[in-house]
Amino acid sequence: MDDRQLQQWVEHISLTSFGRPFLHKARFNRRLTSTGGRYFTKSHDIEISWAQLEQFGPEDVEKIIKHELCHYHLHLLNRGYLHRDADFKTLLRQVGGTRFCRSLPTAKRKEPYRYKLICSSCKTEYLRKRKLDPKKYACGKCRGKLKLHELDSKQNS
C-alpha cells in the first residue's frame, strides 16, 4: 500500500463513518513506532504508522485512522478534539476507533542508562541516558558536587 491508496482509504472511512469528506493529505510515516498516527492542527494532515500496518494489519490501522479522523473533524468543527475532551471520547466510541494503538514489539522502548552521576557528599546516584557536564549541575538533595561515571553496556541491560 502506498500514500495514494492510504489517501483513498482515509477519504472512504471519513465519508462512511463520519458522513463528512476528508479534504487534506494522509500519508504513511515509516519512522512512527511509538504511536499509531498523528493529526497536525496547522495543516490538518494525518500521518499513519507504516509499522502498525505491517505488524497488525488493516483492521487495526482502520481504528487508528478513525482515531485521527476524530481529531480532524472535531477540530474543524471547533469542538473538543483533544484526548481529554468529552466530544472526542463520545465520537471515538460512536465510530469504533481505538483510544490506544497496540505496542510494537520491535519498538525500542527503553534505552539502557549509559551514565551515572554520583554526589561526592551524600553519595546519591542519578542515572542518565545522555552525557552531560557535571560542573553545570549540583546534587538535588545536598547541593554537593557531582561526578560523572560511564556505565558498561552489559551492566545496565
User: pLDDT (tens digit, 9 = 90+) per residue, 59-111?
Assistant: 999 999 999 999 999 999 999 999 999 999 999 999 999 999 988 885 455 66
As a whole-number percent, the residues of the chain with pLDDT over 90 amount to 83
**Residue 39 to residue 42: CA distance in whole angstroms:** 9
* HSE, side-chain direction, 13 A CA sphere, residue 106: 9
Q: What pTM does this model have?
A: 0.69
Check residue 153 and give its pLDDT. 60
Check residue 104 and give its pLDDT. 84
The one-letter amino acid code at 37 reads G
Say which of 11, 47, 68, 150 is annotated catalytic: 68
| The pLDDT of residue 146 is above 70 | yes
Averaged confidence pLDDT in the chain: 92
User: What average pLDDT does this structure show over 149-157?
Assistant: 67
Check residue 112 and give its pLDDT. 83
Check residue 51 and give its pLDDT. 93
Q: Which residues are paired to 125 by β-bridges?
A: 118
Q: How far is CA 70 from CA 4, 56, 85, in A?
A: 21, 21, 11
Burial 69-100 (b: 16+ CB within 10 A, else e): bbbbbbbeeeebbeeeeeebeebbeebebbee
54 is catalytic: no
| The pLDDT of residue 157 is above 50 | no
